[in-house]
Structure 1
């Protein structure tokens, strides 16, 4: 079972929240909301997409490259853990 199937409910919930945020931007544009408020909404969507991206990349590494918690090759486990940490920091 792949990580997208195993985590499907959680991933779908995040996507549905994103959909709601996008719809809020659309409603705000239609209602002529001030640009500062729109920028805040857009920034929220960007943060949510970045969080989803980071989660999916980390899960991909753990599932298809190396799971640092389970890999018996210490060097590969360390490299995977370092890569995951860099991705978390980069996509923060």
Structure 2
């Protein structure tokens, strides 16, 4: 994952925003807010997770599939991605 070091601050920013969004959901549920408000908060988390996932998928494809000369390493990169996609799409 050393290739992620270049984008570490950006990725951590996304993760921290997600944490804040999850805490907002917790506060809303604990405070017995309107279900519509909670659904909007959940939808925003889903969008943020999708954005983080897309960024990580792009980085994985670039650094573990496209830019790899070693066929065995490329195969492992594809297998890793395939496994993640199977889990993600369940």
Q: TM-score, normalised by structure 2?
A: 0.70
Q: Say which structure is richer in helix.
A: 2
User: Structure 1: how far apart are the matches of 2:3 and 2:51?
Assistant: 16
> Structure 2 unaligned runs (5+)?
70-90
Partner of 1:61: 61
Structure 1 unaligned residues grouped into runs of 5+:
72-92
Q: List structure 1 segments (4+ residues) > 3 angstroms apart after TM superposition.
A: none
How far apart in 2 are the matches of 1:26 and 1:4?
Answer: 30
The answer as to whether partners of 1:3 and 1:60 remain within 8 angstroms in 2 is no
TM-score, normalised by the number of residues in structure 1: 0.69
Count of aligned pairs: 68
RMSD over equivalenced CA pairs, Å: 1.6
Paired residue secondary structure (1:44): helix
Measured after TM superposition, the shift of residue 2 of structure 1 is 2.6
